[in-house]
């Protein structure tokens, strides 16, 4: 068993590499890739700084080269991928330097390029005897003018494996920070809707199984099928029109996560306000997931109830509730635990469709807007997260299954 | 794939005497299906609606059915029949300029509703016959008489009824809803069918041959399956604005996986059965074993899944359209209609959201009812509760 799960974990590594590489490839090869985006951003920035007089001014060649070097576009794509992963050295800092002229590189450190025989040597400008760290230098030639230039640089491993997801183009902030800001909203919805959908589906599933083929069963089946087939955001949109706009029953707020005056509220008001804003989105979130679980629960319980050991239990004269909740449920609950591993998904549960409908600034909105604006560091971060969540989720599900059902043995 | 249950099984047995009638399994399934009234009637309604939707250009259109002008007869609406997505997009329909039909000074497309009024006033024996619902899905505020945000059941300045009102650009909501049904349903049927055409053979081969082919494909599918597919579709769509068929292919690329997995498991199981061993030992060619012996025994789970695949695909299209990454505008689509409605939510234009979503709900419900009945007919489970 343990071996099996270790093997599963190890197998996720090639899958992770494979799928991130595919996404990387698509994004890099697509027109309007990260480099073009950044150049565009710089151009726009230049325009506004230059009071729009310059118009569509070409970026200095130097700057473009700088960017290319930063994104590693002078390297083949597999190398770029490794750099992005963080297992290949990236040119972390680099500065132009003139021989004999000291150059400030970061924390009060000055370097100087000294001629020594035929070649140059890099020295600390203040005190030539002090070490210069891992700074290196190289010579380069301008392709047009043929002028020889020098450059000092430092390399470092920095990529997603070292926890460096890069900086957002638009927000000019580390991606990790941005995600951390938005996470609480999505986690709250994730947890509430997770608990709700399991609670509802277990209860409803049991009731439907016990009253199989009764009007109650048919009526709830229709509701269950409806929520199964209709996307959660569509249900949300209908609820919003019916229960939030002035036209029908304006009971709930039109959207958002909290009242604009939220910070001025007392604690009780805060809780009330939050709950008020939560009702409709939570229904939308829950509706999507409880239908399948309910049917699973019902079918599984019905099957268990027709087994011999249940008959024996009834024959012994045990009360019905006890038979159902103690004897039958133990076996019936197994199928619905098969999905429980995806519980880790609730931390990133932000569906951007639902968040867009309700105008919630959660994680889904962040990723969607990043996608639209081609803010690639964020897009990549979300790809990595979603791939990891899917992979780990399926392993956790197997683990949960093995825990609740001792008959299941994975090999 | 879906023919299996509709296939009449006459060839297998002639009708027998009523009490001891011998029925093929297909006949029994069909009977069972018909006995499930909710699913059966859903099928009839949906089938009828879909067939009618191919004739939408004759029923709901701003182009006239017949124009008789100075002894010549034109049929502008008929050409639109060939413009529906599943029939084939033949490029823009060439239109008849207003001037040609006597609308003075109108060099762009003729406004047939105005033309009708004009002919009636002139009384020269020219006539226009409009479709029963004389508004098209694309004509907007640029056409005289169209106003934005007309509420449902209101009438235009010329007394024409707007069943479900108009949207922000003065386009008719009912017309867009009706054409949206045609497009959504065609789209989902195509995606589901194509992904079955890819998934079934691939899954079958994986399950039957196993070994390196299976191993390699499994890894590939695992990688493919872990990709955030909506993400990728949006990336691709934001680069190239897809046509109807490109969008179909994009969805197929991701939706064949589940079907292949199912088929693989089925073939894997059936391969070890005695009848397969028997077939191999008497020298039945491999393709025959696959097609004639194992395939029919493996189809039940995926046939019963077909309606649910259609449901999922309709949902995907509507979601993509809602986000603005679906079909190129001004294609009438439910998702785009909802997004217009959501943008104008605070103004009380409820019909912009509720009409397309109502159509979506009804359509999906019908398909799900059919799916439930199909499942019941193919895989009847009788439960006996002992108390």
> Over chain A (411 residues), what is each successive 10-residue block's mean pLDDT?
83 86 80 68 54 47 66 75 81 75 74 76 74 75 73 78 79 86 84 88 89 86 82 88 82 73 76 84 84 86 87 88 87 80 65 84 85 80 83 83 75 60
**pLDDT average, residue stretch B188-207:** 92
Helices B351-378, B25-35: axis angle to 10 degrees equals 140
What is the model's pLDDT at position B207? 86
B357 touches chain A (CB under 8 A): yes
pLDDT at B89 over 70: no
Rounded CA separation B12/B4 (Å)? 14
d(CA B379, CA A335): 19
Q: Is A373 on the interface with B (CB under 8 A)?
A: no
ipTM of the complex: 0.81
- Compute the C-alpha angle B182/B184/B187, nearest 5°: 100
CB contact under 8 A, A241 and B350: yes
Average pLDDT, whole number, for chain B? 83
Asked if B234 and A15 come within 8 Å (Cβ–Cβ), the reply is no
Average pLDDT over residues B185-207: 92
State residue B6's pLDDT score: 42
* Chain B CB within 8 Å of residue A238 CB: yes
CA-based R_g, chain B, Å: 26
**Residue whose tokens read 């359209």:** B321
- A/B interface, count of CB pairs below 8 Å: 134
Supply B15's token pair: 């009708």
Minimum distance, in Å, between the CA of residue B374 and any CA atom of chain A: 14
CA R_g for chain A = 30
The terminus-to-terminus CA distance of chain B in angstroms comes to 41
pLDDT of residue A219: 86
**Residue from A301, A408, A282 nearest A357 by CA:** A282
Lookup: tokens for B54:
């191919």
Nearest C-alpha in A relative to B221: A15
pLDDT of residue A170: 78
A318 inside 8 A of chain B by CB: no
- A371/B338 touch (CB, cutoff 8 Å), yes or no: no
Residues of A in contact with B323 (CB under 8 A): 352-353, 356, 368
Of A324, A316, A318, A320, nearest to A300 by C-alpha is A324
Average pLDDT over residues B11-24: 56
Residue partners of A46: CB distance under 8 A and separation at least 6: A54, A57, A59
Mutation site, A232, A234, A364, A373, interface B, largest B CB count within 10 A: A234
- Residues B195 and B310 sit within 8 Å (Cβ to Cβ): no
- Residue A158 is predicted with a pLDDT of 77
Q: How far is A254 from chain B (nearest CA, A)?
A: 8
User: What is the predicted pLDDT for the residue at A348?
Assistant: 62
pLDDT digits (tens, 9 = 90+) for B153-187: 888 877 788 888 888 888 899 999 999 999 999 99
Q: Which of A212, A237, A247 lies at the smallest CB-CB distance from B348?
A: A247
Check CB contact of A245 with chain B, cutoff 8 Å.
Answer: yes
Classify A373 as helix, strand or coil. Answer: coil
Helices (H), A30-166: 34-49, 61-71, 77-85
B361 close contact with A: CB closer than 8 A? yes
* CA-based torsion, A178, A182, A184, A189: positive or negative: negative
A360 CB-contact burial (10 Å; exposed 0-12 / middle 13-18 / buried 19+): buried
Q: Which of A19, A234, A371 sits opposite B235 (nearest CB)?
A: A371
The CA distance from B376 to B29, in Å, is 9
Confidence tier at B5 by pLDDT (50, 70, 90): very low
pLDDT tens, residue by residue, B318-340: 988 988 888 887 788 899 999 99
| Arithmetic mean of pLDDT, B284-301 | 87
Closest CA to B179 of B355, B289, B333: B333
Least Cα distance to A254 among A269, A238, A243, A270 occurs for A243
Q: Is any Cβ of chain A less than 8 angstroms from the Cβ of B31?
A: no
Q: Do B219 and A30 touch (CB under 8 A)?
A: no
Residues of B in contact with A314 (CB under 8 A): 386-387
Closest partner CB to A314 (pick from B345, B365, B386):
B386
Contact A368 B239 (CB under 8 A): no
- Cα–Cα distance, B77 to B131 (Å, whole number): 8
Give me A245's structure tokens. Answer: 């706009």
With beta carbons less than 8 A apart as the criterion, state whether B332 and B176 touch: yes
Cross-chain CB nearest to A245 (options B219, B235, B350): B350
Alpha helices in A230-362 (DSSP H): 232-244, 267-305, 308-315, 320-322, 329-332, 334-337, 352-358
Burial class (CB in 10 A: 0-12, 13-18, 19+), A229: buried
Residues of B in Cβ contact (< 8 Å) with A367 = 231
| B339 CA to centre of own chain | 20
CA B95, CA B80: separation in Å to the nearest integer? Answer: 10
Q: What is the pLDDT of residue B223?
A: 83
Res A137: pLDDT:
78
């Amino acid at each position: 068993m343990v071996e099996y799960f270790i093997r599963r974990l190890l197998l996720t590594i090639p899958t992770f590499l494979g799928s991130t590489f595919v996404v990387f490839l698509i994004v890099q090869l697509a027109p309007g890739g990260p480099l073009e985006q950044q150049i565009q951003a710089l151009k726009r920035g230049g325009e506004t700084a230059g009071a729009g007089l310059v118009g569509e001014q070409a970026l200095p060649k130097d700057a473009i080269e700088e960017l290319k070097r930063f994104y590693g576009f002078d390297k083949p794509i597999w190398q770029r991928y490794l750099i992005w992963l963080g297992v290949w050295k990236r040119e972390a800092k680099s500065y132009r330097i003139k021989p004999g002229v000291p150059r400030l590189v970061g924390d009060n450190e000055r370097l100087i390029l000294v001629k020594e025989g035929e070649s140059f040597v890099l020295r600390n400008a203040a005190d030539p005897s002090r070490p210069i760290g891992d700074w290196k230098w190289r010579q380069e030639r301008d392709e047009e003018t043929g002028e020889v230039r020098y450059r000092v640089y430092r390399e470092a491993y920095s990529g997603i494996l070292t926890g460096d997801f890069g900086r957002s183009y638009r927000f000019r902030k580390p991606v990790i920070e941005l995600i951390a800001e938005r996470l609480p909203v999505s986690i709250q919805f994730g947890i509430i809707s997770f608990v709700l959908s399991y609670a509802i589906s277990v209860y409803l599933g049991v009731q439907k199984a016990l009253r199989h083929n009764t009007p109650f069963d048919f009526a709830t089946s229709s509701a269950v099928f409806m929520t199964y087939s209709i996307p959660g955001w569509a249900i949300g949109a209908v609820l919003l029109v019916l229960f939030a706009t002035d036209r029908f029953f304006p009971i709930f707020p039109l959207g958002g996560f909290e009242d604009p005056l939220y910070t001025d509220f007392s604690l009780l008001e805060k809780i009330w306000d939050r709950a008020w804003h939560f009702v409709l989105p939570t229904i939308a979130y829950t509706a999507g997931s409880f239908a399948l679980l309910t049917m699973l629960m019902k079918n599984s319980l019905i099957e268990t109830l027709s087994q011999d050991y249940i008959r024996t239990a009834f024959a012994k004269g045990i009360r019905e509730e006890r038979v159902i909740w103690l004897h039958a449920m133990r076996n019936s609950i197994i199928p619905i635990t098969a999905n429980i591993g995806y519980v880790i998904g609730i931390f990133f549960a932000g569906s951007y469709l639902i968040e867009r409908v309700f105008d919630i600034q959660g994680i889904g909105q962040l990723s969607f807007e990043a996608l639209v604006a081609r803010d690639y560091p964020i897009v990549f971060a979300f790809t990595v997260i979603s791939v990891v969540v899917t992979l780990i989720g399926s392993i956790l599900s197997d683990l949960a299954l093995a825990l609740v059902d001792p008959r299941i043995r994975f090999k | 794939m879906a023919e299996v249950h509709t296939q009449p099984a006459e060839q297998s047995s002639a009708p027998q005497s009523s009490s001891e009638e011998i029925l093929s399994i297909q006949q029994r399934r069909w009977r069972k299906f018909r006995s499930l009234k909710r699913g059966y009637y859903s099928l009839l309604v949906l089938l009828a609606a879909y067939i009618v939707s191919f004739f939408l250009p004759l029923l709901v259109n701003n182009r006239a059915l017949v124009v008789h002008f100075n002894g010549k007869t034109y049929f502008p609406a008929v050409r639109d029949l060939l413009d529906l997505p599943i029939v084939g997009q033949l490029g823009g329909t060439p239109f008849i300029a207003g001037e040609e039909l006597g609308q003075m000074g109108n060099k762009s497309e003729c406004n047939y509703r105005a033309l009708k009024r004009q002919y009636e006033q002139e009384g020269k024996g020219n006539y226009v016959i409009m479709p029963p619902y004389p508004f098209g899905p694309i004509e907007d505020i640029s056409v005289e008489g169209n106003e934005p945000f007309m509420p449902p059941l209101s009438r235009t300045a010329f007394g024409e009824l707007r069943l479900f009102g108009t949207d922000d650009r003065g386009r008719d909501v009912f017309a867009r809803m009706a054409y949206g049904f045609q497009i959504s349903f065609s789209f989902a049927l195509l995606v589901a069918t194509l992904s079955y055409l890819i998934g079934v053979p691939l899954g079958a081969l994986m399950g039957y041959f196993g070994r390196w082919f299976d191993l390699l494909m499994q890894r590939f599918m695992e990688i493919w399956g872990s990709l955030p597919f909506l993400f990728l579709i949006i990336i691709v769509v934001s680069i190239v604005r897809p046509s109807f068929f490109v969008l179909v292919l994009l969805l197929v690329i991701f939706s064949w996986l589940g079907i292949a997995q199912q088929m693989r498991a089925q073939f894997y199981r059936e391969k070890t059965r005695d009848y397969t061993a028997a077939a191999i030992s008497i020298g039945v060619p491999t393709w025959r074993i696959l097609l004639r012996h194992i395939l029919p025994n493996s189809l039940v789970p995926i046939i019963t899944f077909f309606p649910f695949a259609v449901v999922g695909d309709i949902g995907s299209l509507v979601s993509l359209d809602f986000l603005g990454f679906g079909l190129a505008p001004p294609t009438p689509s439910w998702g785009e209609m909802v997004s217009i409605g959501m943008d104008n939510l605070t103004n009380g234009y409820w019909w912009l959201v509720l009409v397309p979503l109502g159509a979506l709900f009804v359509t999906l419900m019908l398909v799900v009812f059919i799916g439930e009945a199909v499942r019941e007919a193919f895989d009847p489970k009788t439960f006996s509760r002992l108390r």
